[in-house]
Amino acid sequence: MANIASGFLSINLDKASELNKSAVDEIIDNLEDNKHFTYCGECEGTFNEEDKIIDLYFNGRWSCDACWEWIENEISDDKNDKELNPEAKTLLIKAEISGGSYEYGSQYRDKVYKKNGAKKLDRYNHTKLESEWPELLDLIHAYNLNQGDSQFSGNDVNITLIEKSDSEQYLFKIVGGAGGFIILIDKKSDEVEFFCDIDEFESSESINEILEGIESGDLEQAEEPEDWFYNAELIDDLIGDSDEFFEKN
């Protein structure tokens, strides 16, 4: 079975136009029975008649690229292979559309947007979900923390700067819903000097003691950060929803 992406769309209908309820129902009914929007799951659509907004939640295969392509085909000037009637097509063209898709922990997220009257979706991909931790902590300005201070970032990820040295070594404790770890970073080289799952860390939370333990052989690193089981999920929680890291295709 292929991976399943979760998608969402908000279709803001043109408030200046007369409401065509049958065309609205056609859009929702078509998508709720559309193979591109119902891969191993359901598409659920609701309509807020007062605000003239259609909200949709659905599932796509691998990503939701096929869903975006289907919408673009329906609002294009191409006269072939249309599934919607002209009235429903006109609603979509006049609407402002925003949404996106993701698969939690897969290092994939995208967003789409279409302004009123446009016949193409602008697509944006998240460009930082595959970043390594020295860069990630720089992106969220964690190196600016004072020693002993904490900050919550993203989806309840707690970043604590345990200690920093005069030689620009930074010892962090990072904990989120997916788990947590201790990480020692040499900022001059942007290298990870030590990494350990927080539940398996048995040394003192001290830069010198960690380095001495590594040198003496008393302290060994079991895995690299990118090999840690919850790495992708914790990164997703940290920066997955940050608009600043999406770039237009």
Q: How far is CA 46 from CA 56, 68, 91, 95, 155, in A?
A: 7, 19, 16, 16, 26
Show the domain range for 230.
133-239
Q: How many CA atoms lie within 13 A of 38 on its CB side?
A: 12
In tens, the pLDDT along 24-71 reads: 999 999 999 999 999 999 999 999 999 999 999 999 999 999 999 999
Q: Is the same domain home to 23 and 44?
A: yes
Cα–Cα distance for residue pair 71/119, rounded to 1 Å: 9
Q: Is the same domain home to 113 and 140?
A: no
Provide the number of structural domains found in the chain: 2
On average, the pLDDT of the chain sits at 96
Q: Is the same domain home to 34 and 68?
A: yes
Q: Is the same domain home to 115 and 24?
A: yes
The residues near 123 (Cβ < 8 Å, ≥ 6 apart) are 68, 110, 111, 112, 248, 249
- Show which of 94, 126, 158 is a domain's final residue: 126
In tens, the pLDDT along 113-157 reads: 999 999 999 999 999 999 999 999 999 999 999 999 999 999 999
Q: Is the same domain home to 80 and 190?
A: no
- Show which of 126, 156, 181 is a domain's final residue: 126
Q: What is the pTM of this model?
A: 0.91
